[in-house]
Amino acid sequence: MAHTLTLFKDKPLSLTLGGTLSPVDVAYQTYGQLNADKSNAVLLCHALTGDAEPYFDNANKGWWQDFIGPGLAFDTNQYFFICSNVLGGCKGTTGPASINPQTGKPYGSQFPIITVQDIVNVQKALIDALEIPHLHCVAGGSFGGMQATQWAISYPDFVSNIINLCSSLTLSAEAIGFNHVMRQAIINDPYFNQGDYYEGQSPDNGLKIARMLGMLTYRTDVQLARAFGREMKQQSAIWGDYFQVESYLSYQGVKFLDRFDANTYLRLLRALDLYEPSLGYANEKAALSRIKANYTLVGVTSDQLFKQVDLHKSKQALEEAGVNVHYSEFHSTFGHDAFLVDYDFFEPMIRQALAQSA
């Protein structure tokens, strides 16, 4: 189980787009041992629907289970890993389902719009509370890669290495479009109630549909064809799960309801859309030029969410800003989700990035 710290009790968290939050609970987990001079700390930033538990010691699997452990890419014999549930989350960190101390009820519609910058500022407060003076590395994939990038911008003297897997500097118009459709599925669910549904029925159908669409952006056509093809189910209604691929998506949608909150999904999708490294600076180059860390960027050529062309643009922008960028790309039938499962491809690049000095 994750640990929890309560932060911003005396001085509220000021949010990038306005407003404040106080207090802020942060759920986090650690793996490995912090060395004597506290120089081996690595922050792991989770993707959109992740949490503070990338690894379990028991039969349950964390979201980066195959990457973390003794002798693995994220070697717990060598490094001390910290991972926290993001601000706005629903796995122990303050989010829309948390109790608003002003009303005694869940925040719901009153929870503010948050940004990646806000998420990173909360992570920094956690690291400070743990009395860790410097991070050897910040690593993340997808939404976590955006967080890693913002760490290097916001706190350039605090982190030595950045690992960004499968994430461009900004989200494309197409990806924002996917997110819009997912949000509309939730918002138009008859039980959404403007986000204040906690005392009644949850907008489960909308959230299921949103998850199904999301799953299609994480996979590839090749993977779906290999797994399901045009195979049909026996004794299925024509408008139901007639094909096996439909049954798979429906199953993923239902399973998602057990671990995620619709308001959190809305807030984090919008944080993805809104992410701009240039926020608060004259332009993107001015923001990126603040980066002092070694920057490892890895793309997947079959990624349908963060496409190859967007990764190339990000690489170019980083280079033009003077960042020490190490770029790699490869093909995977897993598409965007490759960073969660394609260990053999990512392992050498992760090890190389972690081995770099400040």
Structural domains of the chain ordered from first start = 3-171+277-355 (3.40.50.1820), 175-270 (1.10.1740.110)
| 357 carries an active-site annotation | no
Between CA 256 and CA 186 the distance in angstroms is 13
Average per-residue pLDDT for the chain:
96
pLDDT at 58: 64
Q: Which of 303, 310, 314, 332 is catalytic?
A: 303
Is 290 labelled a binding residue?
no
Paired strand residues for 83 = 29, 44
- pLDDT score for 56: 82
Question: CB neighbours of 117 closer than 8 A, spacing ≥ 6?
Answer: 16, 150, 154, 279, 280
Identify the bridge partners of residue 137 per DSSP, sorted by sequence position. 42, 161
195 with 96: CB under 8 angstroms? Answer: yes
Query: Quick check: pTM over 0.85?
Result: yes
Q: Is 337 annotated as a binding residue?
A: yes
Annotation says 136 is catalytic: no
Q: Mark whether 221 is an active-site residue.
A: no
Q: Which of 118, 168, 302, 336 is catalytic?
A: 336
Catalytic residue among 142, 167, 168, 314: 142
CA dihedral of 214, 252, 85, 193, whole degrees rounded to 10: 80
Q: Which residues of the chain have pLDDT under 70?
A: 1, 57-59, 358
Rounded Cα distance, 301 and 323, in Å: 23
70: Cα within 13 Å, side-chain hemisphere = 1
329 with 300: CB under 8 angstroms?
A: yes
pLDDT at 229: 93
| Gap between the Cα atoms of 107 and 95, Å rounded | 8
